Amino acid sequence: MKARFLLVAVLFVFSTIAAYSNVLLPLVPSDAYLIVNFDFAAIAAQPEIKALVDTQIQTNSNELVDFYKRAGIEPARDIRNVMLFLDGKERPCILVNGTFSAKKISELIQTDKDLSAGFEITTIDGLQAVKNKLNANGNMIFINETTMAFGAEEVLKQVSQLSTGKAKNINTNKAFAHLMERVDTDARLWGAVVTTPNWQSRVEIPVAGLQNMKTAFFSVDYDKEFTMDFTGLVEKKTELPEFADAMLNLLDAFRGWTASVPEMTELLKNAKVEDNQENMARIFIAVPAEQFKTTMAKLSEKANEKATEKAPEKK
């Protein structure tokens, strides 16, 4: 239940702090099939979300969180844009743009004994890099003074080549370009999925009928209303009825999965499935902003309670 609560909280934190950034998109390879983009700076304008994220950062420990703390990086203050992608070989990468200083981070790693024990300064494809001695997927390269990329060394080599125009980026992918015509890039969060010929065998499909999906996109906005839209497209009109049913079953499955978090159950009562009777079906939710803020405040309170329970007693 704890893991489920935290995952639900994180999903909705990211879903409320997003905005389009064309700064990082050219660093995504042309064969990427999943992209998620959000603007981390927006978190500062939403205290109820910031409180939840701060709690998670303070109570969870991993090499990246510990690195941020020792490097003096405050995500809500220093990180502006974040983009995640999976390339054609399913290798993840995180692109980060902010107000931190790559030079200061490099100097700190070389002078801080604790950091130097887990990280070392090196180069990857000609760019200054930080090798994570404990996690092969936790390396980073400095694209410029305020842009970093995190991932495995081979993925970071791709990003390096993209930064100098030596490789084709996602903007040259015709399927992605066509899909982007439908994506609401003005939303606080947007994402796009372009499936590959063998994606059904590579991704565990939880609901029958979803394998008909060829492309998908999603967006989240948060103004007078909190809205979330996940849309999938099929190739043939005859596939739509089965796909629409699959989307409904997926929504029901998610409702069941989050049943242990009452606040989410209440929020998801407003979700519905719609289709255009041609080639598209979507899961859509819209609730008043105040209701969403109340939900997030309750989740933040629960996170704080769990953090208090987890904290060791002072002697």
Burial of 298 (0-12, 13-18, 19+ CB in 10 A): middle
Q: What is the mean pLDDT of residues 130-149?
A: 90
CA distance 189 to 184: 9
| pTM of the model as a whole | 0.76
Q: What is the mean pLDDT of residues 181-200?
A: 77
Check pLDDT > 70 for residue 126: yes
Amino acid (one-letter) located at 167: A
Distances (CA, A) of 126 to 121, 129, 159, 297, 315: 13, 9, 12, 46, 51
pLDDT tens for residues 33-68?
899 988 777 655 666 666 666 666 666 556 666 666
CA distance 147 to 254: 35
Report helix, strand or coil for 110: helix
Res. 154 pLDDT band, cuts 50 70 90: very high
pLDDT tens for residues 207-242?
778 888 889 999 887 777 888 999 999 999 999 999
Which DSSP state fits 192?
A: E
Res. 127 pLDDT band, cuts 50 70 90: very high
- Where do we find the tokens 């609401």? 184
Check pLDDT > 90 for residue 202: no
CA distance 273 to 299: 26
Count CA within 13 A, CB hemisphere, residue 77: 8
Q: Are 301 and 48 in contact (CB under 8 A)?
A: no
CA distance 25 to 176: 12
Query: Which one of 49-53, 113-117, 195-199 scores highest in mean pLDDT?
Result: 113-117
Q: What is the mean pLDDT of residues 10-18?
A: 38
Extents of the domains making up the chain: 2-95+168-306
Distances (CA, A) of 301 to 15, 88, 96, 265: 19, 40, 29, 17
pLDDT at 8: 41
Of residues 2 and 184, more confidently modeled: 184
pLDDT tens for residues 83-101?
999 998 889 999 998 887 7
Neighbours of 50 (CB within 10 A): 18
pLDDT at 280: 95
Rounded to 10 deg, the angle between the 289-310 and 2-14 helix axes is: 140
pLDDT at 44: 56
191: left (phi over 0), alpha (psi -120 to 50) or beta: beta
Report the candidate in 101, 153, 97 with the shortest Cα–Cα distance to residue 127: 153
